[in-house]
Chain A
Amino acid sequence: MPRKKINLPYNVEYLSVLDEKGTLDEKLEPDIPEEILLNLHRAMLLGRRFDERLLSLQRQGRIGTFAPVTGQEAAQLGAAVVLRPTDWFVPSFRETAAELWRGRTMESVILAFGGFSEGARSEKKLNNLPVSIPVASQILHAVGIAWAIKYRQTDDLVMTFLGDGGTSEGDFHEGMNFAGVYQAPVIFVCQNNQWAISVPRSKQTHSKTLAQKSLAYDIPGIQVDGNDVLAVYVAAHEAAQRARTGNGPTLIECVTYRMMMHTTADDPKRYRTEKEVETWRKRDPLSRFQKYLMDKGLLSDDQIEALAEEIKTEIQAAVDHAEDQMKGGVDPLDMFEHTYAELSQNLIDQKEELKKEIVAMKEKNDG
């Protein structure tokens, strides 16, 4: 009756390519085409500036509550950048920067946060799912899509996102297990931003890392410096190779930080210290990456400035466009659309009822 150590096929790695200052570890430097590097930088800068603009809009009451992404640009974009248009993107609700990269327009984001269902509409068909607010619920959908891809034998893959809090939900574990069982081509990107609203990572799970949760399902897991866009890229790139070559899922834990509030209605001062935030501010993913690009001679301060200007106008255009639509007002009757493929008689009646009410209201207000 032996009693011996079982050697598990995987162990959990940690990867970081750029240190906090942005200095490079040459031997780990990934070979990324300049063009991609610059697009990536642009996407990060856009994500940051757009986030700031949304915040000011919210503070002026021009849009409603939303979840900021500042500080997590590298964690989400470093991963999303390896996706092909035909791949599937299954976000949680704090991936706005990655969503823009995946082709969602800024207008649609503003409209959605402005309380307009129009924000869900998209001109071109994208292989993206909409944000999924119930935590971790989207993970199983990703696995389902991945299974279908495998069934159709294409070399596409699915990338889904979750947060540290999400790893506590049953859906996450069910999703990991299914993915393992079916060896589905899916990448689980966990943005460990240290805080699930007020609950710190340390209270969320007893495990040392989130990456190690993969061990239970015999899935490769890796923890990377989530504010180091190169490290994230490397991990995602490997995971993509694995998925496309039929070698199943991967869990990537990006260690990053939620620099802002959980949502604009939240007040982090109640549960975390300014000091902690400050230490993370020093690890800002954007400036780190900019330093790297400058050292490489790919970017200069002037270029950054020019780029920032360009982005500013882009954002302004989006805001104007979205606000025009919002000021235009909405037809409340639209609320009945898209409940079913076609309106049931019951809904037709209720729509008529609301129509009458709106007319009556109008008369009341006018007279």
Chain B
Amino acid sequence: MVMGELTQESEVLVIGGGPGGYAAAFRAADLGLEVTLVDMQERPGGECLFRGCIPSKTLLYLAELIRDADRAQSMGITFGHPQIDLGTIRKWKQHVIDSLADGLVTLSKKRGVQLIQGRVAFEGSDRARLYDADISHIKFRHAILATGSHPSSLKGVVFNEEGRVMDSARALELADIPETLLIYGGGYIALEMGTVYAALGSHVTLAVRSDRLLRGADPDLAAPLIRRIEKTFDTIYYNTKIATLNETKTGVDVTFDGEVEKPFQTFDRMLIAIGRTPNSKNIGLETTRVKVNERGFVEVNEQQRTSDERIYAIGDVAGGPLLAHKAFREGKVAAEVIAGEPSAFDFRAIPSVVYTDPQVAWCGLTEEQAQKQNRSIQVERYPWKFSGRATTMDTLEGMTKMIIDPDTKRILGLGITGRNTEGMISEGVLAIEMGALAQDMALTIHPHPTLSETVGEVADIFLGGATHILPKQNKK
């Protein structure tokens, strides 16, 4: 266009093409609504596909291969030292992203979802302005806000293209394999990226403000992982803050404030992974009745509706756990509510999976939460050293843990650490959602030999009769 401003009308305007956004758009289209999806990227996928979950898992899989090849030695197979070709790795990663992104484009086309590349800012409760697009305004009947979040930084630190101080997105670009890498933060992103770089040969130092890692998970679940990274990472500094940070041509100079013997150190690169900030600024929310809380998250009810009844918010920007699978569901809920269905974001368990080595996965109530709520629970653990399958794979550090309501005998939570927990956790999620009793799990036949048996057997323990463990004494 070269002149004037064109306005388009749209039944549903979805702002942001991440997992939440495209799930919402697709669901709305399937329910017969006219959908326009606007994203700054040309293709849907968002942070998760282009700069998050997918690329990181692509790299973590490679890390796992390297580790397995190494472990194989003790089992009688010796591979040569891995030759790492960053160029090919990047190409492979890009190929993974492209094939998934192109798939989403096709799905959008086939569903009649209109994709527009551009930036959106509200101009009221029924109008949004588009920047850098052929259409300059959209009049919508409903809008679904799915703008997501971006990595938080430290005061005065800005992430830039060439900088040595990276956010998770930059770290995934794998510009090089730094000799030394400092990671600031103790969450799953910090641990996963550390695992990748350590596997590729970097000397990783981890600094975390609190006294522990992976605070969302129960300590006994995180323990095997921590034991492992204490080996693979160079150092871990607990209760440590970054006092000063200075980027030079050759490296990043850092002074630590905490339990560090050498408070002043220099690293080739640094990754800041201390959390994420919602993208709720500069999108014209002030022109709507949408309420944003003091941390920038958009307030929604269980129908994902904001305080502006035409506008819905889903995914990271709507707060809650910043996870793609939570955004997926919220997106569907918003679309269904708009289509007049009695849908609501009502769940009993959102699974969390950390793709480190070993993996950590949990869902529902954790032991810690139960204590906080001073709620009486019973906890059962199944150490994998009793699992045949775990033994065949030499992954004995693993453990399966179940949280049970002592009165109702209902399963409240499940936690697993070890290999392939990513696939096993879903059984726990279903059990909790269905309100299953420990007995239901115990009576469900699990294939042998598999790691999934451990889920059945941990329930058996509760009932006092696990096959591969001696029954506890004095247990009713």
Pick the contact of A263 from B2, B134, B136 — CB < 8 Å? B2
Binds B, one of A9-17, A58-66, A95-103, A355-363: A58-66
Pick the contact of A266 from B1, B5, B129, B131 — CB < 8 Å? B1
**Cα–Cα, bound, A65→B123 (Å):** 18
Pair B3/A65 contact, Cβ less than 8 Å = yes
By the criterion of a CB under 8 Å from any partner CB, how many residues of chain A are at the interface?
A: 10
- A-facing mask of B309-322, CB < 8 A → 1, else 0? 00000000000000
By the criterion of a CB under 8 Å from any partner CB, how many residues of chain B are at the interface?
A: 11
**Cα–Cα, bound, A262→B123 (Å):** 26
The answer to the question of B447 belonging to the interface, with a C-beta cut-off of 8 Å to chain A, is no
The answer to the question of A267 belonging to the interface, with a C-beta cut-off of 8 Å to chain B, is yes
Contacts of B1 in A (CB 8 A): 265-267
The answer to the question of A28 belonging to the interface, with a C-beta cut-off of 8 Å to chain B, is no
The answer to the question of B132 belonging to the interface, with a C-beta cut-off of 8 Å to chain A, is yes
- B-facing mask of A167-203, CB < 8 A → 1, else 0? 0000000000000000000000000000001000000
The answer to the question of B340 belonging to the interface, with a C-beta cut-off of 8 Å to chain A, is no
The answer to the question of B156 belonging to the interface, with a C-beta cut-off of 8 Å to chain A, is no
User: Chain A at the B interface: mostly helix, strand, loop or mixed?
Assistant: loop
**Cα–Cα, bound, A265→B2 (Å):** 5
Pair B5/A65 contact, Cβ less than 8 Å = yes
- A-facing mask of B121-147, CB < 8 A → 1, else 0? 001000001011010100000000000
- B-facing mask of A259-293, CB < 8 A → 1, else 0? 00011011100000000000000000000000000
The answer to the question of B342 belonging to the interface, with a C-beta cut-off of 8 Å to chain A, is no
In A23-73, which residues have CB < 8 Å from any B CB?
59, 61, 64-65
Contacts of B76 in A (CB 8 A): none
Pair B5/A64 contact, Cβ less than 8 Å = yes
**Cα–Cα, bound, A262→B3 (Å):** 10
- B-facing mask of A64-89, CB < 8 A → 1, else 0? 11000000000000000000000000
Pair B132/A267 contact, Cβ less than 8 Å = yes
Pair B2/A266 contact, Cβ less than 8 Å = yes
- A-facing mask of B365-392, CB < 8 A → 1, else 0? 0000000000000000000000000000
B110 to A: closest C-beta gap in Å:
26
Given A61-B129, A265-B3, A265-B5, 12 extra CB contacts under 8 A: A61-B123, A64-B5, A65-B5, A263-B2, A263-B3, A265-B1, A265-B2, A265-B4, A265-B136, A266-B1, A266-B2, A267-B134
Task: Give 24 CB contacts A-B under 8 Å.
Answer: A59-B131, A61-B123, A61-B129, A64-B4, A64-B5, A65-B2, A65-B3, A65-B4, A65-B5, A197-B2, A262-B2, A263-B2, A263-B3, A265-B1, A265-B2, A265-B3, A265-B4, A265-B5, A265-B136, A266-B1, A266-B2, A267-B1, A267-B132, A267-B134
Q: Which 5 A-B pairs have the closest CB atoms?
A: A265-B1, A266-B2, A263-B2, A265-B2, A262-B2
A residues near B, CB below 8 A?
Answer: 59, 61, 64-65, 197, 262-263, 265-267
